[in-house]
Amino acid sequence: MPRKPQYDRDDLINRARDLFWARGWAGTSLKDLEGELKLKPGSFYAAFGSKDALFELALRRYARDGTARLHNLAETHGALTALKLYPRLVIDTPDAPAKACMMTKTLLELQAQDHPLAGVANDNLRRMEQAFAQLFQQAQADKEIGATYDPFSLARRYQSDLLGLRMSAERTGVDALAIAQEIADGLDRL
């Protein structure tokens, strides 16, 4: 019978994700990770190989969870309502380690260095944009928004505004919930 691992791998990845999300790639050292995950260097290496490999796991999980949350919203409320609820949802998260999107933070930090993780972030942002476009298409099919709009242009702008919203939510003294409401209201005018 194989020995049960001494740790819950899923939980470790979640904790690493939160640390990376809050502090970024350069701001999180191997030592920080080993401390947070309570792993000795040898166990860390055996479990994840490297900081970059773990960062990539964490980033992919972050992206997958974001898409899943969006799809759940759409199944429950329909496409347009999901798109209207999502802005508020992503910033109204008292337990999240940061308001800004982890993919964005990664891209901003690592793009200038041509780091491979910036490419992973880019790919995942693109996938998220496609998920938004599909919902705009669905909203058109459901006659919730006008048929003349290009769903890909709508998704591009919507995602851009969401990225701005999440950055605004990081600032002190900015009423980001009001911005989220304005983005939602804007969708009603389509």
Which residues lie near a second copy (CB under 8 A)? Answer: 22-24, 26-27, 97-98, 100, 104-105, 107-109, 111-113, 122, 125-126, 153, 156-157, 159-165, 167-168, 170-176, 178-179, 182
Q: How far is the CB of 180 from a second copy (least distance, A)?
A: 10
Cα–Cα distance measured from residue 124 to residue 129, given in angstroms and rounded to the nearest whole number: 9
Q: Which residues neighbour 2 within 8 Å (Cβ) at sequence distance 6 or greater?
A: none
Structure tokens given for 8: 């819950």
- Shortest distance, CB of residue 104 to a second copy, whole angstroms? 6
- Taking the least distance from each CB to a second copy, the nearer of 75 and 182 is 182
How far is 91 from 2, CA to CA, in rounded Å?
Answer: 42
Which DSSP symbol is given to 179?
H
Longest dimension (CA), the chain: 61
Which residue lies nearer to a second copy by CB, 24 or 78?
Answer: 24
Residue type, position 42, single letter:
G
- For residue 167, the minimal CB distance to a second copy (Å) is 4
- The DSSP letter of residue 92 is -
- Taking the least distance from each CB to a second copy, the nearer of 2 and 173 is 173
DSSP 1-16: -PPPPSS-HHHHHHHH
The distance of closest approach from Cβ of residue 113 to a second copy in the complex, given in angstroms and rounded to an integer, is 7
Residue 3 or 171 having the CB closest to a second copy? 171
Minimum separation from the CB atom of position 176 to a second copy (A): 8
Q: Which is nearer to a second copy, 5 or 164 (CB)?
A: 164
Contacts of 23 (CB under 8 A, 6+ apart): 32
Minimum CB–partner distance for residue 59 and a second copy (Å): 15
Nearer to a second copy, 142 or 188 (CB): 188
Strands (E), the chain: none
